[in-house]
Structure 1
Amino acid sequence: MSGDLSRPALRLSGVAARLGERDVLRDVDLDVPAGTRLGIVGVNGVGKSTLLRILAGVQRPSAGTAYLADDAGRLSETVRTRSRERARRLAYVPQEEVASAELHVGEMVALGRVPRTRPWARGGRQEREIVRAALDAVGLADRIDDPCDRLSGGERRRAVMARGLAQECPVMLLDEPTNQLDVAWQLRLLQTVADRVETLVATIHDLDLALRSFDSLAVLGRPADSDPDTGPATIVAHGPPAEVLDTIRVEHHFGVGSVQVPHPHLDQPHLLIHPRKDRPA
């Protein structure tokens, strides 16, 4: 972890969220220090995507406030930050977004340059170089002139990531970035992105990958006084990955058994998941 813990890039203070008639989040407090990588984990439907949309400023919380830091480290309310300025500070890649089939790959990735260029300055050599570098980072530089509809599902997902990289923002938010990717890119992608942005926040399902890919993890879960299936969630643990994903917490919040073991080739633990054993009555 290389971030300045006294200088948050993002902050949530007392955040709550509703979807229709349902309370999804409540009492969420979170600081994301500049220069760090934060992974957000939790079961399906607990509210991870909602939390990320609030961090990105595309969804207004029903209570509380989301903040985004400027270049000087000053925090301002994210939803009140002008959209163009927000897009210069923060790149957000939602889970469901895919590359438009009507565009060529390079054209789609170049859309990430819109917040940083004037209309009359679009399409020049510098933009082409930035777009190519972003595509090269995700292994698609040779597809720059192909129509997006010629890409596989995983390639389209990587192309959308490249568009986020082309924004050249200090902060990037990724919602389930490893979905639809093959094993090699699941292992490479988070490090590839982290090498190119200052601050990274991503939701992720794979607990072993989460353990090995982030400086810190936040578990989004339903507390004891909330309905275990439909009640509002909050951050129930936040800290170093190896501490957050301990055996008791993984069993309680994810319903599986687990054990951390030394990785034979990496200087970090490896999380083995197994079915939870029935406890004696």
Structure 2
Amino acid sequence: MSPEQTNNLSHVENYRPQLLSIAYKLLGSVADAEDVVQDALLDVVQKVQQGKEIENMGGYLATATVHTSLNLLKKQRRDQYPGVWLPEPYEWSHTLVEAQLDVPYSFVYLLSELNPKERAVYLLRKSFDLPYADIAEQLDLSESACRKLEQRARKKLVETEKLQIVSLEQKQQLVAAFLQATQQGDVSALTRLLREDIVIYSDGGGKKVAATRPIMGLDRCIKFILGIYQKESSATSVQFRSTSHEIRLHIFQRGQLDTVILLATKSNQIQTVYLQRNPDKLSRLTANK
């Protein structure tokens, strides 16, 4: 093995945080992202040890991660998912990973609404600024097709620019006000806090009660929110949890994590509410609580 190859291998692990970020944004699953990245790292180590020369290690690992993620998405058949599919709320102890996840949960959800190849091209350009020729070769597409896919992705994601990225302190104030208004059944306060065009997405995975379709409009969303709280018991408790970019509400029933609530804001009001109730997507948060 040449000195250059040895140096490449010694730095492979440094790419893990950025690769985890890409895989998570593609898959919406922490466990799947970790598996895909681990496979990519092991594969590249084996190839280098066998004598393969890799000039752009970061680009090679990124495209390998994307390719494996796309294959996994084909097997998952999300079109058969019961009800609304939402990404798994992430919580990594690795601070470098959180630093790479430089977008809010709402953006990860919007990414999931793109088709897989749009997501792949967009993330490879955004994260590693790979040439279209390299992306085209890895994804078995033409360069012009890659350019069109990225343009379509950017056009679909333009709405995210209108979502107001507020400070964690401001978001915590909004979340606290939302929780208080909900607990008190204060319709007037909720009317002030929520936008007219608010949307609520809830994911129960077929295992917990959740709306099978998005709930739209101020009146319907207020009724839904208050209806949920009225069903809660005295055994319910709430915790505020924060990551680099999010303030979340963790709702516990008799000591067990039942629901994670995340909010997206616009013009100092709540634009979107995400309710993650699928126990399979909360298990890692439960383990880390």
TM-score, structure 1 normalization:
0.25
Task: Compare the two structures and name the one with the higher helix fraction.
Answer: 2
The higher radius of gyration belongs to 2
